Amino acid sequence: MLGAAALPEINVKTIIEPFRIKTVEPIRMTSREERAALIREAGYNPFRLKAEHVLIDLLTDSGTGAMSTRQWAGIMEGDESYAGAKSFFRFEKAVRGIFGHRYVIPTHQGRASERLLCRAVVKPGHVVPGNTHFDTTRANIEDAGAEARDLVIAEGRDPEIEHPFKGNIDLDALDACLCELGAARVPFVLITVTNNSGGGQPVSMANLAGARAVCERHRVPLLLDAARFAENAYFIKLREPGYAEKTPAAIAREMFSLSDGALMSMKKDAFGNIGGVISVNSEEWWDQIRTLLILTEGFPTYGGLAGRDLEALAIGIEEILDEDYLRYRIASTAYVGKHLAACGVPLLKPFGGHAIYLNGRKFCDHLTDEELPGWALSVALYEHVGVRACEIGNVMFGRRDADGAWQWPALDLVRLAIPRRTYTQSHMDYVIEGIDELHRQRRSIRGLRFVHRPAVLPHFTATFEMV
């Protein structure tokens, strides 16, 4: 038997994947010629590629995370009863144990939560302030006839500035907004943790507490978009004074205790292939949302999900708060960022929790905004090395004003989203080498222009041609 006292001190610095691989899925290399033809046929839109033609898929960290042995075992326990399934009560208990709100409503994914909430409480002429609204959140708010207003701090709009909590909402701007509009025009404030569209940047506890105070003063509810709440909690532990000794679970509970409710895509920090949730304290909202839920999602104890999904999510939302996992998650994402930065690749800093964001405008500084530099980079990345990434910039958020002139967003980023527990360090080394090589030949990247631009969420289905 090994006695603990007999073991030598371990000084290894590498933070390893805290799991071993039990099931594998082959991935296939394509030739550069094949990829050039495939992306052309896809109208130069990586979303339109077949997944089997992608070598390493960093399009999103959503729904793609590998599930644990406990989750797979839970799937066998799934209760598929239409009403009152025991899987729902397990799900409700797990969510309430962390979020702490009174009412828990399952949905099939994040945007279903957004749609239900917006249909229930957002009216034409309303304004929903937030740090940076995610694209589907913004689309759902606008679909309800309201304005989605981004009030992230100034540092959050500058890709170069180092700041520990670039996802923070500007509290003075929030206060001014609520003074101007009043509770009658603001149904709620929504803070996204971490701030995905702003580079996966965390929000500090002090900022959440500040936002809570402003909201209380104006009698406006504060909600969290909690897609990546566990990563946010771990950043607080690492970066905010007073939290180093607290567990991620305790920090997460404190974050939610400052809110009146939350929306979540459980395809992220609940390790789910599918799933979402709305969690609220207001009985009135719960009642309104439940009525709408029955119209489109299903009975309130399954909300568009199978019982087995509810089981997997109930286990996943607790597993995600494991400190070994979160340490590895944040360190392995930073590993990609650190090595790319050392190669001189322009990146958003500091590194986010779930993704590294390339600065499209700087990477392709030979292209104008009209030539869609970030999008062109994502196309070149696929063609060059078979890696699929997602532009979060000119295509996703560019708008034409009343005179037809383009308004470009502050940041034109390409997100390398890292699926949870899916790829190994050597996959990431390949990505780093490929991007480094592409960066050395960046002037050869050609600009693109729209062939077809749908009016809503254009990035998903738009087509392009080379300039």
Ligand X SMILES: Cc1ncc(COP(=O)(O)O)c(C=O)c1O
Residues that bind ligand X (CB under 6 A): 62, 109-111, 134, 136-137, 192, 196, 225, 227, 265, 267, 276
Amino acid at 49: L
Q: Closest CB to ligand X among 77 and 142?
A: 142
269 is catalytic: no
Q: Closest CB to ligand X among 186 and 226?
A: 226
CA atoms within 13 A on the CB side of 31: 3
Amino acid at 405: A
Instruction: Give the N- to C-terminal CA distance of the chain in Å, as an integer.
Output: 69
d(CA 306, CA 209): 36
Min CB(43)–ligand X separation in Å: 22
d(CA 333, CA 336): 6
Q: Closest CB to ligand X among 346 and 352?
A: 352
Q: Closest CB to ligand X among 196 and 333?
A: 196
Q: Which of the residues 37, 51, 73, 82 is marked catalytic? A: 82
d(CA 121, CA 290): 12
What are the two backbone dihedrals, phi and then psi, of residue 141, each rounded to the nearest 5 degrees? -65, -45
Min CB(417)–ligand X separation in Å: 8
Beta-strand ranges (E) seen in 341-404 are 355-359, 387-388, 390-392, 399-400
Min CB(420)–ligand X separation in Å: 13
79 is catalytic: no
Min CB(62)–ligand X separation in Å: 5
**Cβ atoms of residues 301 and 83 within 8 Å:** yes
Helix (H) or strand (E) holding 336: helix 323-342
**Cβ atoms of residues 68 and 95 within 8 Å:** no
**Angle at 68 (CA atoms; ends 62, 71), nearest 5 degrees:** 90
225 is catalytic: yes
365 is catalytic: no
Helix (H) or strand (E) holding 318: helix 307-319
Q: Which of the residues 112, 227, 376, 417 is marked catalytic? A: 227
Q: Which of the residues 101, 108, 126, 268 is marked catalytic? A: 268
Q: Which of the residues 61, 225, 260, 369 is marked catalytic? A: 225
Which strands sit side by side in the sheet containing 189-192, from one edge to the other? Answer: 103-107, 276-280, 261-265, 222-225, 189-192, 127-130, 147-150
Q: Closest CB to ligand X among 211 and 367?
A: 211
Min CB(219)–ligand X separation in Å: 26
459 is catalytic: yes
357 is catalytic: no
Q: Closest by alpha carbon to 277, among 330, 229, 211, 325?
A: 229
Residue at token pair 């797979």 = 72
d(CA 208, CA 114): 21
Q: Closest CB to ligand X among 43 and 63?
A: 63
d(CA 380, CA 442): 9
Positive or negative torsion for Cα 306, 308, 314, 320 = negative
Min CB(52)–ligand X separation in Å: 21
d(CA 171, CA 147): 19
Q: Which residue is nearest to ligand X (CB)?
A: 110
Q: Closest CB to ligand X among 74 and 276?
A: 276
Give the distance between the most distant pair of CA atoms in the chain: 78
Min CB(232)–ligand X separation in Å: 11
Residue 362, Cβ neighbours under 10 Å: how many?
A: 15
Q: Closest CB to ligand X among 227 and 364?
A: 227
Min CB(110)–ligand X separation in Å: 2
- Give the helix ranges, DSSP H, for 343-372: 360-363
Min CB(116)–ligand X separation in Å: 12
134 is catalytic: yes
C-alpha R_g of the chain: 22
Q: Which of the residues 57, 61, 79, 135 is marked catalytic? A: 135
Residue at token pair 């390790």 = 271
Q: Closest CB to ligand X among 109 and 359?
A: 109
Residues with catalytic function:
82, 134-135, 225, 227, 268, 459
